[in-house]
Amino acid sequence: MDDAEHAAPTYGKQAFMINMQRRTVRPWKLAVVALAALWTQAVDAHHSFGKFDMTKLVTVSGTVREWTWANPHTWLIVIVKKANGTTEQWALVGSSPNMMSRWGWNAADIKVGDKVVVDIHPGRDGTAIGSLQTVFLNNGKVLADPAGSTGQALAGGPSQLPTKPQGQPYK
């Protein structure tokens, strides 16, 4: 991780957003990050990854029905309108609010009724569940879930953020 990040005395929301805009991320870098996330020892073991296919990344778009900022996990419930006109309710589990707040998340970032685009690792069983990876808000803010990060990355804050969804679009 970036040493400069470690030395930064504060890591407020402002600084986070400025850093985000400054960064451009090349696809190969994302691949490296994704691989690192897979192969380094994931740190959030409150969270079982058994339910989710961590090798798959899917992008779901929809309207927020519920956003619960609670331990041990945050939950983002999204109503997704499918191409055939039907709707589905997706239950997306995130990391602990404690870990997320250190990566620039604020409980107030997401509100019921917001339109969101979310990269997720989908459930293995084909039901509408997923493990959060990245949330793209309408105001341009991008929030990465720290699940699976190293201790160094958790202490240092996120250093690589995608600017647009990386998953296979869910229709």
Partner 1 sequence: MSDMATPRFQRTANRFRRGSACALGALALWAHVAHADDTATPKSAQQQAQSWADIARLPDFWQGTWQSISPIADDFSTPPDYTPSARDYIQHYKPAEDSPFTNCKPLGMPFVQNIGGMPMKFFQSPGMIALYIESSGMTRFIHTDGRQHTEQPNPSYLGESIGHWEGDTLVVDTTGLDRDTVFQMGRDQRALVQGDHSPIAGVIFGPHGPNLRIVERMRLVDFNTLEIQTTLFDDTVFNQPYALPARRFIRGIERRNEPQEWACTDNRDYLDPVTGKLELNVKDKAENR
Residue ranges in contact with partner 1 by CB under 8 A: 6, 8-11, 38-39, 41-51, 54, 68, 70-73, 75, 77, 91, 93, 95-96, 98-99, 101-102, 129, 148, 150-152, 154-155, 157
Rounded to a whole number of angstroms, the minimum distance from the CB of residue 9 to partner 1 is 6
For the CB of residue 126, give the shortest distance to partner 1 in the complex, in Å: 14
β-bridge pairing 58-68 and 168-169? parallel
Q: Minimum CB separation from partner 1 for residue 156, in Å?
A: 8
Indicate the residue among 71 and 168 with the shorter CB distance to partner 1: 71
CA distance 118 to 128: 13
Question: Distance between the two ends of the chain, CA-based, in angstroms?
Answer: 36
Smallest separation (angstroms) from partner 1 to the CB of 5: 9
**Measured from the CB atom, is 2 or 49 closer to partner 1?**
49
Is the Cβ of residue 47 or residue 141 nearer to partner 1 in the bound state?
A: 47
State which residue, 54 or 144, has the beta carbon closest to partner 1.
54
Kindly list the distances between the CA atom of residue 117 and the CA atoms of 40, 60, 76, 143, 162, in Å, as whole numbers in the listed order: 27, 6, 11, 11, 13
Report whether the peptide linkage leading into residue 165 is cis, meaning its omega lies within 30 degrees of zero: no
Distance, in Å, from the CA atom of 134 to the CA atom of 16, rounded to the nearest integer, reads 15
